[in-house]
Structure 1
Amino acid sequence: MRRTFFSLGDPGFRSHFAEFQRTAFRLETLQKYDVTYERTEFERFLAGESRGTFPGLEGWLRRVGEGTRRGKEFRRVHILEEPLTDYARFECLWSYRHTVAAGEDVRIIPVPAGQWPEGLPRRDFWLFDSRRLVLMNYGPDGTFVSAEALDDPEPVAEAVRWRDRALAASTPFPEYARRFDELMLSSGSGRPA
């Protein structure tokens, strides 16, 4: 079965996050995402202002917190090219710290710019309960284009292999953040929030 969604707010797309039983895994491969619910906070970050209430993130924090209390696992691996883009710095400083505190297992695979980890795709996806794959499609500027939900065994099995490879090659975000903070503070180009 294949179903395509053209909005992150589509009830069919959102239902995956409510209906999964045990595990939700996300592979992120872009160095910049352009999503409406982050724009104001990203502009604040670029202007050197303090982090605000970040309404777009609050719903995710609630979902993760409630899910983990019920025994669900939220895992994410982001392949980050170094030096980091402004957007990647924003995610690390203003998003990931809070999602980890809410219970999400965020991990990073740092790579030098222009290199890529062997055996991992340059394609974003969600994998729910190792049974349902949602391929995420973005434009060249990081804007969301569509999501394709699949439960065909072959692409799902390939995504399971990618997930396992990504998890094995990644560093837990708190460990990465210690190094990240040292780099940020020594360069004078930002501060942890």
Structure 2
Amino acid sequence: MLLDGDEWQAMFRDFHTQAWRLETLPQYLMPQEAEEIQAFKDGKRIDPHAYTSTYTDRIKRQLAEGKANGRVHVLTRPLSEYLRFEFARYYEPHATAGEDIRILDVTDRVNPLAGIQDFWMFDRSTVVLMNYEPDGRQISRELHESDPAPFIEYQRIAVAESVPFREYVSG
């Protein structure tokens, strides 16, 4: 079953304990980001502390309600231009809001999650597969209707093998 619109938004609104994501691509091409990315490429500085959005507001509210939001991004160096943009524009303010963002850098090591595609997992029971073109354009979001156990294990590996975002960027 493909998810979009209200069904997709309900995943973020209705989870009970945790929304968690695995990201594996060096870029995500979202049409609504095109102008900001181009400005970043042209040298415009991003002030991550001036950024607020419904996403950061939701993270803060859910954290106060005892709900966790997190992600691990698997990447290699050098960072793509998109990842440098994403770190400044999204990761820093999202981490400030309370999202547990972690980085799994596989530049000089074997990727323990090689071949695993992007996904969201809600309450360690509902998995949504994120389908992308090789260039990072989203194709669809698909409800995984089988056992979530492999994805729980992917999450365990990703968290165990990664470092917190702020530790990664400061080191």
* TM-score between both structures, scaled by the size of structure 2: 0.91
Secondary structure at the aligned position of 2:106 is classed as strand
In structure 1, the partner of 2:100 is 105
In structure 2, the partner of 1:148 is 142
* TM-score between both structures, scaled by the size of structure 1: 0.81
Deviation at 1:152, TM superposition (A): 2.5
Q: What's the C-alpha RMSD, in Å, of the aligned pairs?
A: 1.9
In structure 1, the partner of 2:162 is 170
> Any idea what the Cα deviations from partners look like across 1:1-44, whole Å, max 9, x if unmatched?
xx213x4xx11111100010001110000001001232222111
- Would you say the 8 A contact 2:120–2:129 is kept in 1? yes
Unaligned runs of 5+ in 1: 180-193
1:38 counterpart (28, 33, 36) = 33
Given residue 96 of structure 1, which amino acid in structure 2 is its aligned partner?
Y
Given residue 159 of structure 1, which amino acid in structure 2 is its aligned partner?
F
Given residue 146 of structure 1, which amino acid in structure 2 is its aligned partner?
S
- For 2:114 and 2:158, the matched residues in 1 are separated by 7
> Any idea what the Cα deviations from partners look like across 1:155-182, whole Å, max 9, x if unmatched?
x110000000000000001100102xxx
1:49 pairs with 2:41: no
Secondary structure at the aligned position of 1:4 is classed as coil
Residue identity over aligned pairs, in percent, reads 34
- For 1:169 and 1:34, the matched residues in 2 are separated by 27
- For 2:164 and 2:47, the matched residues in 1 are separated by 26
In structure 2, the partner of 1:86 is 81
> Any idea what the Cα deviations from partners look like across 1:92-141, whole Å, max 9, x if unmatched?
1221110000000000011228x651245431000000110000000121
1:20 counterpart (1, 15, 21) = 15
Secondary structure at the aligned position of 2:70 is classed as strand
Deviates more, 1:118-127 or 1:41-50: 118-127
